[in-house]
Structure 1
Amino acid sequence: MFYEILGLVLGAAGLLLLLALITHHPSDPSFSSPQGLGEPVQNWVGKVGSYVSALLFEWLGLAAFWLCFIFFQLTAFAFRKEPHPHPNPYWYGGGYLLVILSFAALLSGGEENFRYFGWNFPWGGALGYLLYRRLSLFLNPPGTRIFLLVLLLCGVILITRISLARLVEKARLRLLEKIRRLRDAYHKERERKRKAKTLKVEKELRKAKDAQPPTIVQTPALKPPPPPPRPQPQQEQFVFMKDPGDFELPPLSLLDTYEKPDQVLQQESLIMNSRLLEKKLKDFGVDGRVTEVSPGPVITMYEFEPAPGVKISRITGLADDLAMAMRAVSIRIVAPLPGKAVIGIEIPNHQRETVGLKDILSSPEFAESKSKLTLALGKDILGRPVVTNLAKMPHLLIAGATGTGKSVCLNALISSILFKARPEEVRFFFIDPKRIELLPYEGIPHLLHEVVTDAKMATRVLRWAVREMEDRYQKMAEKGARNIDTYNQRLIKERKGDSAKYPEEWLPYVVIVIDELADLMLISSREVEEYLTRLAQMARAAGIHLLIATQRPSVDILTGIIKANFPARISFQVSSKTDSRTILDANGAEALLGSGDMLFLPPGVSKLQRIHGAFISETEIKRLTDFLKKQKQAVYEEDLLTVEEPESVGGDEDLDEKYEAALKIVRETRQVSISMIQRRLRIGYNRAARLVEIMEREGIVTSGEGGRPREVLLKDF
């Protein structure tokens, strides 16, 4: 009974206090104004309510309502017969004191008071205002608010005895449970859609179960190369007896092995897809059947035999429609397949395989190749390794849009040579105007010169290559050799008594790699084109080969002269059929998948070969270059490119004679131009320009600045 009476008393006190605060009026009497304004008391609790509410509002402001909450909470405890609402009453009272004071101080952070019946009252009362101003002197307003919020939170913890750690743990568990439910719902919905799709396709398959199934071509598993013969045991050789000139080729363990996807196209799935392809073609009015299916690592080739009377042109124009119908990124149609009366339809796999460079280098095709310039291109559509010989190409042009795998292919080609050849056998000249792709190879022993990043300096590299080619032909003529291999063999036979494996006159292969041809053509297109043409036509026997890449497959970069002298070309994905024809003289590159998917045009063959390029990462390249640098330090020939500017690529042995002939032409015609001198004397452009410059220096003709024609100054000369 005592607790019930106590609860009633406390509840009534809390209610009266709440009514007093709510009905407070400034005109009522208070401790600061005992008489008030002489009007009747408007507070519902009378003079006691007016005095108490005025006192609380003056000192605590709106924080006074917390006192009502305290009375109501104590009332609830009394009715539940809990004599002690908190194990420690002092902590309980201290918590509420912190809450009321910090709340009042936080309310006093504003500059304005709140209005009540036309009168201004401070938000936090005098205590809150005083506490906030004092703290602001030491912590500034932002720091004061943070400090007061911490005090308020501490007071709540003291009152409620709630653990923040448990609150955070409960919130975390609820969040994880919500995520789990969403994930389960997502997987259930995905499984439902998959089953619905499978049932739909199986229904189509049952309709065509009586039709003849296509032949599934299974690619035989690749056999690793046979292990090398085990060497006979020899007497142990001490480290100090090791020949410092020994060079060890990089091991394949430097490269990563990429796992093949677990999802394998089963025979039933391939038959199902072939029937679906037949149905979609029939929807477009093309009758026929799929006779053979060839699954590969990235795409699957479906050989479609059209019905009699169906024109090939009707099928080749359906590539985009079939891609949408088969839900494929793109579809390439080869019509017809060479040597077969069928049309090839290449459809991408849902999960493509990463073709690692290690898979190609470890294949018998690469291991058994004796050429030091063996290039690992990748795998064909059936998953068979594709390697080629740069010495037989003898040059390679690579083009494609940005981000389609062109630079990765260039790195794979360079790395395949580095795994095959010693520095004495193959030397590189790297030209990288973009200063990105080829700089990791800086410092390897195979380099003739540091990586050239200046487009103007690249012209000197090509000029040096032309002179080196001419010097090599002169040396081969002295030995009676027709190519570099014969020259080196005869050189070894003549030096049988020499212990050196590579004599001083030994001629290594030279591979010039240009990462971006467009930058060179923009600087000096005529000179670059002239040097490239000369090298492409004559440098094969001299052992000088070109690897050129460009991301601008336009006619101003890949001119007709350059294309005519580069029969071996590779095209990655391009944006239009026009770019595809510019590179390969045929359509198809616009339908590639990107990420290393390429079309390869071998020399002397008009048939395009689709290859999935070998991938090598930057980490693998770093491991390879670090291994080579530890084997041997790079020795650059610094004065290699310090050559004088020639008058022309054709030589200047008869310069005086040509100059006199040029003067005679100018004297007779009273006109002068570089093109006229070039045409009349049948010499190169650069040489004709040099002759005109000499005439200008001697004061015979005027300069040709501003596009104005030159004039002859002297009447008699």
Structure 2
Amino acid sequence: MSLFQYLKSFYQEGRGIVNLPYTLNGGVIGGVISVPLCFLLQKTGTIIVLATSGIIIAMIITEISIKKTIVRAADKVKQINIPVVDTYDDADAYEQDEAVYLKELDEPVVTEKPKRVFSKGKIIDFPLNRKPSEQSDSFAAEEKKTNGLQEAAMPKSRKISGAANKIEKSLESDVRVKPMQGKEYHFPPFSCLKAPGDEGVNIRKLRADALENARKLEETLINFGISVQVVNVAVGPAFTRFELQPSPGVKVSRIVNLADDIALSLAAQGIRIEAPIPGKAAVGIEVPNSEVAPIRLREVLETPDFVKYKSRLAVGLGKDISGENIIINLAKMPHLLIAGATGSGKSVCINSIIISLLYKATPEEVKLVLIDPKVVELGAYNGIPHLLIPVVTDPSKAAGALQWAVQEMTSRYKLFAERGVRDLAGYNKAVKDDPEAFRLPQIVIIIDELSDLMMVAPHDVEDSICRLAQMARAAGMHLVIATQRPSVNVITGVIKANIPSRIAFAVSSQVDSRTILDMGGAEKLLGKGDMLYYPVGTQKPIRVKGAFVSDRDVESVVNYVKSQVTAEYDEDVIEKITAAEDEPDTLAMDADELLPQAIELVVNCEQASVSLIQRRFKVGYARAGRIVDQMAERGIISGFEGSKPRRVLISKEQWEEMKMGGMDRK
């Protein structure tokens, strides 16, 4: 027998020099490995060692990780059977099978806000199809019982208003406007506004899309080597926010840089990434919904959040991603800048602000000054008792109205000084028991289109706005300014510095977004009321779906208000505005007859000098020097700078706008 045959026989039989109690059948190589191990570890230990070694060798050869294998297996299990858990405020989570869950998806959503859980995270649905009848009745009874809810307690729900909402008792009358004698103002009923109903939004489809997008989101990021977990999904009226919790060691910037890839994976028209979410250790990815649910203004105003709000300047703005009502307090702003492209929802937002004030304040508490250069937007409010003067549509008169507001602010501060008080609330306390002094109302000045005013009288308008923004808060005067052209020529640096609270609707570019908010994000909004609300004191803007109010709703509320109280305009204010408009301009009176042609010349030549005027118009040095001085006084050219040439400060387009608006006011 040869050596090879001997070894083969020895190891096949498992018998030889060692008398084992069991048979080994592994061949020569198997015997060389297994026999020593059997001496040391016995049969069970040998099997464990060999099995473990085999797994390790297989992992090294195939480069397959156990962690990745477990994660992929878990994802497959989730796709086959996803546990769905409902959570309520008064009960722990309980399990339901898939049939019950699908049955619930077909049922209409009630006023309570159910929550869905995806894996370990939650899917929070916004309330739809609210039935306002019961709430309206209860609120109407409560309003009648408390006489307008002037002493109602503040709710503990969330309000985006900055500091605590603690204000003094409402104001009653104006120094110039006499109190309404024998007339009682009744707030409009909520029935004047269209009730929210079934808007045709498929809630089942939105929830199913949210589950599917959550899976796609995790898979997409894993494919890029980023380990994250979807911990919460909030389904809003216009978009869904997925809250991702990155694994330790994952940089947030890696997720932000994948915005386009995530949008491609989810087949979304555009996504917005909020990294991180304020107050949470998570990254928010906002994806537009396939169907947008409109938010009616009545849905916001008839809630306790608004009805029990103490401030007379409370405004129902809309709802956030979680369905919470966003109630803002203009007194805490204290001024508001609204900007966005045409058709993005600015005028609807202005109407929501005005309607909210009509539901919250009497004509003796709040007075309005409406400036509408577009003529057609705010004309419907003519005749309401809250107006201090008729709606101003002439841009030249609008500049006069702002100048009157500055004078009114100055006169109020003089009254405060006489009484030894610091603000409007202190003054009204001081004159409460004085029968000869009237209380002062709060004044809200609303400008629907700032760019038109800046074309006609940029210097006067900018100076008035800046003075009001700096000092008018304590005097009880507040500005709400809207514009559709968010350029630095309209929203100047001085205006931005003095109006900290801003609302940005959809814009066309990131440059416009930075002009409004000093950051990007507004260029990714969806339009139709989708906004970024950036109140003073917050680090990042809040995405809000604005409340919609139709022209029919505005007409219904205005007609109700007009039917009970007629407007009593302040003739003194109208006379002051007219006088400011008709006041002779000393610059215009001293203007040389060659001044327009001289401006045309320097704008076309892009240079200005006395010798140039002398040569072109054949005038003497003295007259040419006066013309140059007059151009410098009007801001056409720079002032005298020694040996440096004078600079032309306006372009041809600006000069054409000045000619159309009237050069004398420049």
Give TM-score, length-normalised by structure 1: 0.58
Distance 1:243-1:458 versus aligned 2 partners, 3 A rule: closer
Q: Quick check: 1:278 aligned with 2:223?
A: no
Following superposition of structure 1 onto structure 2, how do residues 468-483 of structure 1 map, counting pairs within 5 Å? 468-483=408-423
Question: What residue in structure 2 maps to residue 228 of structure 1?
Answer: 142
Distance 1:280-1:643 versus aligned 2 partners, 3 A rule: same
Q: Quick check: 1:249 aligned with 2:187?
A: yes
Question: Identical aligned pairs, as a percentage?
Answer: 45
Comparing 320-329 and 536-545, the one that deviates more:
320-329
Write the letter of the residue equivalent to 1:326: L
Distance 1:628-1:647 versus aligned 2 partners, 3 A rule: closer
Superposed CA deviations along residues 397-456 of structure 1, whole A, max 9, x for unmatched, are: 000111111110111011100111111111111111111211111111111111111111
Report the Cα distance in structure 1 between the residues aligned to 2:215 and 2:389, rounded to whole angstroms: 58
Report the Cα distance in structure 1 between the residues aligned to 2:626 and 2:124, rounded to whole angstroms: 75
Question: What residue in structure 1 maps to residue 543 of structure 2?
Answer: 610
Distance 1:314-1:394 versus aligned 2 partners, 3 A rule: same
Following superposition of structure 1 onto structure 2, how do residues 59-458 of structure 1 map, counting pairs within 5 Å? 206=79, 213-218=119-124, 224=135, 227-228=141-142, 244-260=182-198, 261-264=201-204, 270-458=210-398
SS of alignment partner, residue 293 of structure 1: strand
Superposed CA deviations along residues 124-173 of structure 1, whole A, max 9, x for unmatched, are: xxxxxxxxxxxxxxxxxxxxxxxxxxxxxxxxxxxxxxxxxxxxxxxxxx
Q: Quick check: 1:703 aligned with 2:627?
A: yes
Question: What residue in structure 2 maps to residue 562 of structure 1?
Answer: 495
Report the Cα distance in structure 1 between the residues aligned to 2:212 and 2:560, rounded to whole angstroms: 49
SS of alignment partner, residue 482 of structure 2: strand
Report the Cα distance in structure 1 between the residues aligned to 2:637 and 2:508, rounded to whole angstroms: 41
Distance 1:710-1:418 versus aligned 2 partners, 3 A rule: closer
Which one of the candidate residues 632, 640, 643 is aligned to 2:565? 632
> 2:118·2:232 contact (CA, 8 Å) conserved in 1?
no
Question: What residue in structure 2 maps to residue 180 of structure 1?
Answer: none
Report the Cα distance in structure 2 between the residues aligned to 1:301 and 1:612, rounded to whole angstroms: 13
Report the Cα distance in structure 1 between the residues aligned to 2:624 and 2:212, rounded to whole angstroms: 83
Contiguous gaps of at least 5 residues in structure 1: 1-201, 233-241, 496-502, 653-697, 712-717
Report the Cα distance in structure 2 between the residues aligned to 1:487 and 1:708, rounded to whole angstroms: 46
Superposed CA deviations along residues 44-96 of structure 1, whole A, max 9, x for unmatched, are: xxxxxxxxxxxxxxxxxxxxxxxxxxxxxxxxxxxxxxxxxxxxxxxxxxxxx
Q: Quick check: 1:485 aligned with 2:425?
A: yes
Report the Cα distance in structure 2 between the residues aligned to 1:213 and 1:596, rounded to whole angstroms: 32
Write the letter of the residue equivalent to 1:643: A
Superposed CA deviations along residues 644-669 of structure 1, whole A, max 9, x for unmatched, are: 47999xxx9xxxxxxxxxxxxxxxxx
Distance 1:214-1:643 versus aligned 2 partners, 3 A rule: farther
Comparing 206-215 and 597-606, the one that deviates more:
206-215
Report the Cα distance in structure 2 between the residues aligned to 1:431 and 1:620, rounded to whole angstroms: 21
SS of alignment partner, residue 544 of structure 2: strand
**Alignment RMSD, CA only?**
3.2
Q: Which runs of 4+ in 1 moved over 4 A?
A: 202-205, 207-212, 219-227, 229-232, 265-269, 644-648, 698-701, 705-711
Report the Cα distance in structure 2 between the residues aligned to 1:230 and 1:418, rounded to whole angstroms: 17
Q: Quick check: 1:539 aligned with 2:475?
A: no
Question: What residue in structure 1 maps to residue 57 of structure 2?
Answer: none
> 2:216·2:265 contact (CA, 8 Å) conserved in 1?
no
> 1:573·1:589 contact (CA, 8 Å) conserved in 2?
yes
> 1:462·1:528 contact (CA, 8 Å) conserved in 2?
yes
Superposed CA deviations along residues 544-571 of structure 1, whole A, max 9, x for unmatched, are: 1101000011111111110010010000
Distance 1:451-1:229 versus aligned 2 partners, 3 A rule: closer
Which one of the candidate residues 566, 577, 595 is aligned to 1:641? 577
What is the number of residues matched between the two proteins?
446
Report the Cα distance in structure 1 between the residues aligned to 2:446 and 2:461, rounded to whole angstroms: 14
Question: What residue in structure 1 maps to residue 62 of structure 2?
Answer: none
Give TM-score, length-normalised by structure 2: 0.62
> 1:375·1:387 contact (CA, 8 Å) conserved in 2?
yes
CA shift, 1:478, in A, is 1.5
> 2:397·2:581 contact (CA, 8 Å) conserved in 1?
no
Which one of the candidate residues 593, 608, 619 is aligned to 2:526? 593
Write the letter of the residue equivalent to 2:626: T
Distance 1:625-1:401 versus aligned 2 partners, 3 A rule: same
Report the Cα distance in structure 1 between the residues aligned to 2:568 and 2:493, rounded to whole angstroms: 38
CA shift, 1:364, in A, is 1.3
Following superposition of structure 1 onto structure 2, how do residues 17-56 of structure 1 map, counting pairs within 5 Å? none
Distance 1:204-1:580 versus aligned 2 partners, 3 A rule: farther
Report the Cα distance in structure 2 between the residues aligned to 1:306 and 1:231, rounded to whole angstroms: 52
Report the Cα distance in structure 2 between the residues aligned to 1:551 and 1:212, rounded to whole angstroms: 41
> 1:702·1:710 contact (CA, 8 Å) conserved in 2?
no
Which one of the candidate residues 554, 562, 574 is aligned to 1:621? 554
Report the Cα distance in structure 2 between the residues aligned to 1:511 and 1:527, rounded to whole angstroms: 19
> 1:580·1:586 contact (CA, 8 Å) conserved in 2?
yes
Question: What residue in structure 2 maps to residue 522 of structure 1?
Answer: 455
Question: What residue in structure 1 maps to residue 504 of structure 2?
Answer: 571
CA shift, 1:505, in A, is 2.2
Superposed CA deviations along residues 242-278 of structure 1, whole A, max 9, x for unmatched, are: 9732111111110001224352467665333311211
Distance 1:587-1:644 versus aligned 2 partners, 3 A rule: closer
Report the Cα distance in structure 1 between the residues aligned to 2:415 and 2:323, rounded to whole angstroms: 44
SS of alignment partner, residue 485 of structure 1: helix
SS of alignment partner, residue 507 of structure 1: coil
> 1:703·1:710 contact (CA, 8 Å) conserved in 2?
no
Report the Cα distance in structure 1 between the residues aligned to 2:561 and 2:360, rounded to whole angstroms: 12
Contiguous gaps of at least 5 residues in structure 2: 1-74, 84-116, 147-179, 587-621, 641-666
Distance 1:559-1:710 versus aligned 2 partners, 3 A rule: closer
Q: Quick check: 1:509 aligned with 2:449?
A: no
CA shift, 1:215, in A, is 1.7
Distance 1:264-1:639 versus aligned 2 partners, 3 A rule: farther
Q: Higher relative contact order by CA 8 Å / sep ≥ 6: 1 or 2?
A: 2
Report the Cα distance in structure 2 between the residues aligned to 1:312 and 1:358, rounded to whole angstroms: 40
Report the Cα distance in structure 1 between the residues aligned to 2:228 and 2:193, rounded to whole angstroms: 46
Superposed CA deviations along residues 267-315 of structure 1, whole A, max 9, x for unmatched, are: 6653333112112233444332211112222222111122344332222
Which one of the candidate residues 482, 485, 492 is aligned to 1:552? 485
CA shift, 1:229, in A, is 7.3
Task: Kindly name which structure, 1 or 2, has the bigger radius of gyration based on alpha carbons.
Answer: 1
Distance 1:467-1:700 versus aligned 2 partners, 3 A rule: farther
